[in-house]
A and B are shown apart, each in its own frame.
Chain A
Amino acid sequence: MTSATADCIPLLPIEELARRRRRHESSVGDIWDLLDNVMDPEIPVISLYELGVLQDISREGNAVKLVLTPTYIGCPALGIMEEDARAALTAGGYHQVIVETRLAPAWTTAWLTPEARRKMTAYGVASPEKGGIACPQCGSVNTEVISEFGSTACKSLFRCVACHEPFDVFKAI
């Protein structure tokens, strides 16, 4: 019933490889770079690209077209992400912006890079690893769940048994 896949983050999936290749081979590398400054509104240390929400960028005539994939269906932050991306593009001289929301392939925590996860941990948000969930304060893996759901749709709430600090954990889906 409940599968082990929900408890750990597997290897880099093929769709994430394809996304990175899209950026690598893109003719609009400067726009990708520009949008590296647009951060997740709730975890403002990782960019929309690092989060996996920014899927593709292309030019359509004078317009810039962004493809975004929501993390959670009902996540209220997606609207903010879109606004922030538009503002960054306008500031960078791109005034016409088209945003397409794409559902498939569905977003997963597996798209997060190790570097993005390190940044999140430094910010105080743990991410599930094979060895268990480590406290971002003291590093102990002696931790326990307080609630499967936390302060935002993408987080659950844990407590460190060693140092007693409560902390957010990025939900693995």
Chain B
Amino acid sequence: MKLHDPLTRYVVRLGDDALIMGHRLSEWMSRAPFLEEDIALSNVALDFVGRARLFYQYAADLMGGEVTENTFAYQRDVRDFTNLLLCELPRGDFAFTLCRQFLYDAYSLPFTQALCKSADSQLAAIAAKAEKESRYHLRRSRDWMLRLGDGTAESHERCQNALDQLWIYTDEMFECDALLDGLIATGVAVNTASLRSEWLDTVTETLHAATLVIPEAQGGVTGGREGIHTDDLGFLLAEMQFMQRAYPGLQW
């Protein structure tokens, strides 16, 4: 599925981030360390999948014809997905999932705040809803960073290990490309590069309070925006898309 219209590509990109993040979180259902946390992870997953649906519905409206939100979720292959690599990494242990969530939430809050000011009114409306949820997500994931980082020796070690593994994937959040440059110029897209200092302030403050150390790793891994993914996204899609691939158009 080749998309040409810049706005549609941007909207699908935002939908891809939300869907893949939501799916990874949903994998925790019935596997979380305790019941309340199981519910929390499912709730956050639901917020992200809901966000993805709004972006995909909007993209479908822009394209017209037979395309629906499901077309984007179920009928595209791995190279057509343009989500951040950070979102697709396997869920790992609980520390890894929460650490990823914190790094993303700290980005998602200023991102949705900035998108509220988009020249595109539908994107601004979606962002206004998402921003309230992101604020709530960040409060929870920050709290977990403190509990895990400043918790037991084992929770600290697992959290620091997760941080060390995830750090090289954070550069991609602030990467700009030709698509973004064009849409930033017309006031539609968020200039993600400009969010970096706010993100780093939030992350630095929290990691310091959690007795964790900011990794020194340099050289970010990127490629997700161009459809160049880790092996893991293919496995995720194989599971998520199986039913619609095997029985196209199947409904509940």
Contact = CB atoms under 8 A, between A and B. Distances in A.
Q: Do A and B come from one complex?
A: yes
A97 interface: no
Interface in B19-56: 36-37, 39-40, 42-44, 46-51, 53-54
A75 B50 contact: yes
Interface stretch (A49-57, A100-108, A120-128): A100-108
Interface string A1-35: 11100100000000000000000000000000000
Interface of B: 36-37, 39-40, 42-44, 46-51, 53-54, 121-122, 124-126, 128-133, 135-136, 138-140, 142-143, 202, 205
A1 B132 CA distance: 13
Nearest to A70: B129
Contacts of A105: 128
A153 B40 CA distance: 9
Given A2-B142, A3-B135, A104-B128, A74 B39 contact: no
A94 interface: no
| Main SS at interface, chain A | loop
Contacts of B46: 72, 74-76, 153
Contacts of A2: 135, 138-139, 142
Q: Most chain-B Cβ atoms within 10 A of its Cβ — which of A6, A74, A103? A: A74
A106 B140 CA distance: 21
Contacts of A104: 121, 124-125, 128
Given A6-B139, A74-B53, A75-B50, A106 B132 contact: yes
Nearest to B138: A2
Contacts of B53: 73-74
A52 to B, nearest CB: 13
Contacts of B205: 1
A105 B128 CA distance: 8
A73 B139 contact: no
Contacts of B126: 73, 103
A74 B40 contact: no
A148 interface: yes
Contacts of B202: 1
Contacts of A157: 36, 39
A151 B129 contact: no
Interface string A126-147: 0000000000000000000011
A147 B36 contact: yes
Contacts of A146: 36
Give 7 nearest A-B pairs by CB, closest first. A74-B50, A147-B36, A73-B50, A149-B40, A104-B125, A74-B46, A149-B43
A76 B42 CA distance: 13
A173 B36 contact: no
A105 B127 CA distance: 11
Nearest to A2: B139
Interface in A155-173: 157, 171, 173
B138 A73 contact: no
B105 to A, nearest CB: 10
Contact of B49 (A1, A70, A74, A106): A74
